[in-house]
Structure 1
Amino acid sequence: MNVKPERVFLILCLIFGIGFLLATPIFQVPDEPDHLLKSIHISKGEILPEKSMVFVSSYPPVPYVASASVIFVGKLVNFHSLDMIIYFAKLANLLLYVLIVYSAIKLTPVHKWVFFLLALMPMTLYEAASLSADSFTIAISFLLIALFLKFSFDEEKNELNTKYILILFFLGLMIALSKQIYIVLMLLFFSIPFYKFKNRRQMFSSFLVISIPLLLIIEGWGFVIQGAYVPVLPEISFHGQIVFMLLHPIAFIQALLHSFLHYAQYYLVSFVGTFGWLDNRLDTPLPSILVYIYLIVLILVSLIDNNDFNINLNQKLVYLTTFSLSFLSIFVLEYIAWNVVGSNIIEGVYGRYFIPIAPLFFLLFYNKRFKFNSDKMGIAIILFSVSILSISLYLIIKRFYIV
């Protein structure tokens, strides 16, 4: 019996994704009203945001193309039920997520089951079946990571030609026009072996050809929307916080450590699965024991989900560096955008923000020491995933419909 992770993912994601979608009332996914408003603006061709205290309004348009298209068609045919349009828009996001992640799992030569577990993690699926920009961002990040792994370990790809460079650029462009913080993933370029280029000079020049235009696009978007986001409190200042961090780096490090100590449990819970509004702590999380079990299973699968490929120390250093820089960048961005100048704790960080870069963390556990029957492992993972998703669906239904 040859169990294909991507095929099982396709089936389970559609079944439970639609279940999550139908069971979750409108606007019960974090920031969903803001994402709907953004989709409506995009559907009208209003790409550039007006001044707003809603940070989502400053996002680039790409993550909203699917939902905005549904809203556009709904208005075009004069469909009167806004609720139905919203559900169809959420379905469009889910279907796009399924398509992209299916491709990522099929494409990656290593850790297919790790990708499977991360893509079907309750928090991931909850976001995927919503209007959130996270649906597209997670999917495209997984696909980009999978492509880098393909180029690194697939011996059929002996040389990275212009075609492959353009594909990497396109995926990088999708991130640059989604949530730009994850553009750090382009550093995975240096995990590709040197022998797949004519020489080191070609490798660095190829990286620059990809990265410089992407950085210019990100800077261009930032320039165009400058001043569009108005902080919710007058004490919040982008410029002031940056100056504070430069002048008081120790104070920022202390705020970072304080945040880890204070919110560590919630970061883990909101990474694996919690349902309903997170911002007001009105959400219904998975029981802590299930959160820890899921994380332990992810680590165990990372250790035994191996094959003939060898990930060397230099490549793991690239994965660690890319993950660490992305991880730190998330905290820096939230510190600048959401916290008063000089705050001693960083508010506004949720575990779901780390899902797009999570495959890199678990790649650090990859090794060839442990051997396990792949079919038996696959069946065990499928049963585990079905069990956790069934419990999650029950919690969603109980949260919103059972008194």
Structure 2
Amino acid sequence: MVNRQPGKHALAFIFITVLIDMIGLGIILPVMPQLIVDITGLTLPQAARWGGALYALYAAMQFLFAPVIGNLSDRFGRRPVLMFALAGFTLDYLVMGLAPVLWVLFIGRALSGVFGATYSTAGAYIADITPAEKRGGRFGLIGAAFGLGFIIGPSLGGFLGEIDHRLPFFVASGLAFANLIYGFLVLPETLKPENRRPFRWANANPVGALIQLKQFPMVYGLLAAIALFYIGHAAFPAVWSYYGFEKFDWSEAEVGLSLAAVGITTAIVQGGLSGRMIKWMGQRQAALFGFAVATAAYFAYAFAPNGTTVYVIIVLGAIAGIGGPALQGIMSGQVPADMQGALQGGMTSLASLMTVFGPLLMTQIFFVFSNREAPVYFPGAPYLLAGVLTVFAVIIIARATRPAPETQAASD
């Protein structure tokens, strides 16, 4: 079973694994506030502070453990790491659903961050089974799983929460267990013994994981673009709801509808169009195009005159989603087979670190410019900053991926 060649089930399993990770994250969002209130006896505003701390803890644990998980997969293979993570998710969601006190929730979210760090292993698995020139499109499938999970998770969580606000945790646990069984039956190992390398703690910490990528100058330079992008992108999870309430006077249902639109358009682009566009444009041009379109979308969000306009911008933002998979494909093509896990782990750690600090920055900017006493009332300020940061990311990508003179001369 383990030694057979990966087929369509292997790629389907990776897609489902990431999808279930996102559903598991999204399914608890609608019910987490009420669960905190029930456990602590706090008011909802007071509980929100603890909810923010739980979100930051989740991202921080991903930052710390993504390189550990990625390097473990380079040492022991992708299959056992993925199986371990799914088993961990099964128990973790069960523990959170039964949590009697707040500190148990904190333990649960910390463990969720650890097991969620297997996103890097999923990326390495795709790199193992996909030719370098097709990886951009395959990485786009992970983006599609994120989008679908973002649609299914909160919607399902809200529905189940009407029955019992602990029920979504138990359903998430059941989904993880079902995927564990599916993977045990169909998932082969893809990392050949000759491509494995020793596990070293020096390379398995967030700083070490990034430092070891210095031997690949293009990759190391592109990490700066990724950092800038994720800081800007934090305006979505951190500010989106507040922005809709403040500027467009949206209801909660309208906020949910807008988030569903984001998920649907993202799934369409990442699942179907991204691979074709990257193949047609080439990875470098697709990355530049995607990040440039993202810049335009951020600026449009900042100055959107009404809620209807936002839905047009959502489509534009979804098209921008081809930039990430294309850039990931470029970077994956720069490292050998025995370092794919380390690369994906380093990228996930960097994204998680920006996810810790980005929301703190964006929410503070929103507060400063949405305060009625502010000298300039501008709720779209976080998106304006996101656009500026993405401009710098485009410049970095253009410079880092510029063909060498001898290569350009040969092509001429």
TM-score by length of structure 1 reads 0.28
TM-score, normalised relative to structure 2: 0.28
The structure carrying a bigger helix percent of its residues is: 2
Relative contact order, higher structure (CA 8 A, sep 6+)? 2
